[in-house]
Amino acid sequence: MHFDLITLFPDFFSSPLQSSLIGKALKNEIATINLVNPRDFTTDKHRKVDDIIYGGGAGMLLKPEPMFAAVESLPVLPRREIILVTPQGEPLKQPLLKNLASNFDQLIIICGHYEGVDERIRQHLVTREISLGDFVLTCGEIPALTLINGIVRLLPGTVGKVESLKKESFETDLLDYPQYTRPANFRGWEVPEVLRSGNHKLIDEWRQAEQEKRTRDRRPDLWKQWQQKPEQQ
């Protein structure tokens, strides 16, 4: 998987992309990342990438010329998507991460700033818009980093035990079950006896019941979605 990040602040990614499993995945070339600064594609002496809004309004918009030029300078891999991270986009959920990890060779991610981007970028350059949720951040680098993290961890070779990916929250529309480690008794709070029983059938049943209870209590929307699955009818 190859990522091209169109960002005004390449340094933002320095530490996060060198850390933990993602850093190891990049070092092992499970994924590659190219940082592109649209200021390098401006033609004026001030390297201006934003301008005032036609019709009036607060703030500035990212101009189309440097954004188009930055994207058009990149090699084109067979299966690619040009993504704008924006509150107006499709909500980011686990199935979307799996789709991007499985079906694309190249993801170009445009990190917005200021009041957003010129509408022509959205209409004629971008192929998909993605949102982290119904809130606004100061920059697009944060959701871009989230996208990279969520996708790279799904690529073969990033996570040691592939089985662990199959039992996480949202993989079955249920939240994860409670988990414990040693000591068995900490300040009087004990690990449930069933988890220490060695009876794997009972453990699986307990975990399933806890997933259902936790989802029902905390995420009624997911609970309803899970109940409507054909296998639950």
Per residue of the chain (233 residues), give pLDDT as tens: 999 999 999 999 999 999 999 999 999 999 999 999 999 999 999 999 999 999 988 889 999 999 999 999 999 999 999 999 998 999 999 999 999 999 999 999 999 987 889 999 999 999 999 999 999 898 999 999 999 999 999 999 998 655 555 555 566 789 999 999 999 999 999 999 999 999 999 999 999 999 999 999 999 999 999 998 877 75
Pick the CATH number of 2-152 from 3.20.19.10, 3.40.1280.10, 3.30.460.80, 1.10.760.10: 3.40.1280.10
Q: Which residues fall within 8 angstroms of residue 80, CB to CB, at 6 or more apart?
A: 104, 105, 106, 107, 108
Q: What is the pLDDT of residues 48-64, one digit of tens each?
A: 999 999 998 888 999 99
Tell me which residue of 171, 169, 189 sits closest to 181, measured CA to CA.
189
Write the CATH number of the domain with boundaries 167-232: 1.10.1270.20
Domains 2-152 and 167-232 share a fold: no
What pLDDT score does 114 carry? 79
The domain spans of the chain are: 2-152, 167-232
- For the entire predicted model, the pTM comes to 0.87
